[in-house]
Amino acid sequence: MTQHLGKILIILGIVITGIGILLRFTDKIPFIGKLPGDISINKENYQIFFPITTSIILSILLTGIIWLLSYLSKK
């Protein structure tokens, strides 16, 4: 049980580190938030942003990575 919890914590730490690195460099990735289908509404006093297409693509990528890790861990 303790080894299983340790493995989960290590994986969770790697995931959080990866997300932190990704967030740190998102301004340098040109297509994040600027894809067709991402909605941006700019008015005088407010700005609303819905990154729909970006969210879908990131979801597909993360699903593929998680599936691959799950597949490789079964072998």
- In percent, the amount of the chain with pLDDT more than 90 equals 4
Residue 28, CA atoms < 13 Å, CB-side half-sphere: 5
pTM, 2 dp: 0.56
pLDDT digits (tens, 9 = 90+) for 16-52: 898 888 778 766 666 666 788 888 888 889 888 888 8
- Residues 56 and 39: beta-carbon distance below 8 Å: no
| Mean confidence (pLDDT) of the chain | 82
- Distance (Å, rounded) from C-alpha 32 to C-alpha 51? 8
Site of tokens 């580190």: 17
